[in-house]
Structure 1
Amino acid sequence: MRYSVLPIVFGLAIGVSACTQTQIQPMSKDTFKVATHAAPACGPSGARNVAFKSAAIEVIRKGGDKFVILGDQTDSGVSGDIFTGFHQNYSQGMVVRMIAEGSAEAKSALSARETLGADWKNAVAKGAPTTCS
């Protein structure tokens, strides 16, 4: 019996191309939560990096640049079954507070634009990353 490799390759391409999902939850006018869930290929550091970039993007979208991380939570879990196999997934949660320019806290706060790099405008236009690469 001959099997086509194309469906397997296509399935892997889809799985790698969208290996993260991020949700933003407002908590107050200057504070929000970032919740990122990542596929096994990303690992915990990939989930953390996506959440951090997503936080920077959201700060800029809300009209700011400076921010601090108030809380950080990492988690992992296993999904699947005996037929499809088991996979470890990773989650990263961050509570982010925007800091006003010129405030005393701004000196030690992170810059969203610096976090995203020279191409920050393009990153903001694309939105939260969907891959961990």
Structure 2
Amino acid sequence: MWPAAAAGLLLLAGCAQTQIQPMSKDTFKVATNAAPACGAAGARNVAFKSAAVEVIRKGGDKFVIQGDHSDSGLQGNIFAGFQQNYSQGMVVKMVPEGSPEARNALSARETLGAGWQEIVAKGAPTTCS
């Protein structure tokens, strides 16, 4: 039974939360905070996928990352212990189809893969896998 409990804790530890902040009609900020099990790469992946989801929800497909910031910090106390948490911020600009920028822009649908409709329906990812 212990391995099942440990697996459950790892799943909980893999949680991530993302917030979207509008900055203009075509630009928004993605702010993701991720648990220790995610690591920096996991936080970055969640933020990137969340950006793609938001682009599609806003009616687009093409986007560019205009800014990127990652950070980590400790959370906890002496009695319970400390945990490293990770954050990732991105400034995302949506690019209109057919514009000169679109040739070099990323595709939100390609970023999310074949099951992009299901991913968009679920919303921003909450796990780092």
TM-score, normalization by structure 1: 0.90
Of stretches 67-76 and 80-89 in structure 1, the one that deviates more from structure 2 is: 80-89
Answer with 1 or 2: which has the greater Rg. 1
Instruction: Indicate whether 1:60 and 2:56 are aligned.
Output: yes
- Tell me which residue corresponds to 1:72: 68
Matches of 1:97 and 1:47, distance apart in 2: 20
Instruction: Indicate whether 1:97 and 2:82 are aligned.
Output: no
* Displacement after TM superposition at 1:11 (Å): 6.8
Instruction: Report % sequence identity.
Output: 75
* Displacement after TM superposition at 1:84 (Å): 1.1
- Tell me which residue corresponds to 2:13: 16
TM-score, normalization by structure 2: 0.93
After superposition, the Cα gap between the structure-2 partners of 1:110 and 1:10, relative to the gap in structure 1 and judged at 3 Å, is: closer
Which aligned runs of 4 or more in structure 1 are off by greater than 3 angstroms?
8-11
How many residue pairs get aligned? The number is 128
Q: Residue 17 of structure 2 contacts residue 126 of structure 2 at CA under 8 Å; is this kept in 1?
A: yes
Q: Secondary structure at the match of 1:86?
A: strand
Q: Output the aligned Cα RMSD.
A: 1.9
Q: Secondary structure at the match of 1:80?
A: strand
After superposition, the Cα gap between the structure-2 partners of 1:10 and 1:42, relative to the gap in structure 1 and judged at 3 Å, is: closer
* Structure 1 segments unaligned to the other structure (5+ residues): none
Matches of 2:43 and 2:81, distance apart in 1: 22
* Structure 2 segments unaligned to the other structure (5+ residues): none
Write out per-residue CA displacement over residues 4-58 of structure 1, whole angstroms, 9 at most, x where no aligned residue: x6xx6597266236x1000000000000000000000000000000000000000
Matches of 1:74 and 1:23, distance apart in 2: 15
